[in-house]
Amino acid sequence: MALSTRQTGSGAWIWVPFAIAVILIGLYTVYWFLARGFLDEQIDVWIESERANGAVIQYSKRELEGFPFRFALTLNDPVYGSPDGQTWRGQKLQLVMQPWDWFHAIARAPGRSTVSLSHQDHEEISILLGPKSAGSVRWDQTAVKQISIALDEVSLSFAGDPVADLDAFEFHLRPAPGFPEMIQLETHWQEITLGETPPGDAAVLGTVLGPSILRAELQEGVPAFNETGDPLAAIRAALNAGGTLNVPQIMLEWGPASLGAKGEVHRQDGELKGTAALRIERADDLRAALASQGLLNDDTRLAIDLLERASVNGGFFTVSLRGDGVYFLGQKQIDFPLEDYL
């Protein structure tokens, strides 16, 4: 009899973990549906607020699903028009958020979408986006912390005339790991095809800009962006606060030209100072292209030769930057009012 009691008690313990799991699943299910209702309500509040401010928001169908591991808002035929006349139209918009992370959202726009930028006194700029457009935003209670955009295809036109087509374009803006006051920017693309041949001597470069990249970082950039909300004003504010604008890498492939650059700018005793450095690859290709068009004069040849020699073993040709221009060996070479911009 005692043996039978012990077996029954032991068997009951086997079911305890399953009972706890059922309770937890039930609690999570209740949480998910309550949170879904809260999100749905807040979406309505935001839409009404935007419309009250003059924005146009339209869609043919709206769904908020994703149980159990996400909240997925889907809008069919979405339209958003800002009060100042800028409009985005798409075939579908998907916004995804995880139930345990309320400060990160991912957006996808399957199918083609169009951005129209126009003002009363200007011709319309139209941007056609490809079927795999996506973006990501991360924020906290005080400000946006990270923005990422990935566009598989982009076609830009002005007043109906094609300007450029971009392939595999990405843009990332985020705080630097381990340096919360520093903001990092990275943008790169696989190819840009210009709508027409560049004017003047630049025509020798052609209409295709190949794989290229830009990386930059701004010390004191995070508080400056949070305060101003304007990129140029934020750079000025960060420099005035003792920060440095550093561009560790620029790579540009444009026809026969293969260039690299880097630089930095800061304020010292109230004056803008810094350096800019340039290097060249495939110098022979550029010389040949210029020579074929009768553009390789003595000054151009000398400049390419100087860059080529400076670029040996990963080197750079470096000049100094000041508020009023570009200097080399202590002498101003180019008048450029950098102080007017920064």
pLDDT in tens, 80-95: 999 888 999 999 999 9
Using a cut of 0.85, tell me whether the model's pTM lies above it. Answer: yes
10 — pLDDT class (breaks 50, 70, 90)? low
What local confidence, expressed as pLDDT, does residue 18 receive? 84
What local confidence, expressed as pLDDT, does residue 339 receive? 87
What local confidence, expressed as pLDDT, does residue 3 receive? 43
Dist CA 294 CA 228 (whole Å): 49
Among candidate residues 276, 278, 300, 273, the one with its CA nearest the CA of residue 288: 300
2 — pLDDT class (breaks 50, 70, 90)? very low
Other beta carbons less than 10 A from residue 129's beta carbon? 21
Sequence-separated (6 or more) residues with CB below 8 Å from residue 25: none
What local confidence, expressed as pLDDT, does residue 336 receive? 87
- How do residues 246-256 score in pLDDT, each as one tens digit? 999 999 999 99
For residue 175, pLDDT over 60 is answered with yes
- How do residues 280-311 score in pLDDT, each as one tens digit? 999 999 999 999 999 999 999 999 999 999 99
- How do residues 34-61 score in pLDDT, each as one tens digit? 999 999 999 999 999 999 999 999 999 9
Average pLDDT over residues 200-217: 95
Percent of the chain surpassing pLDDT 70? 95
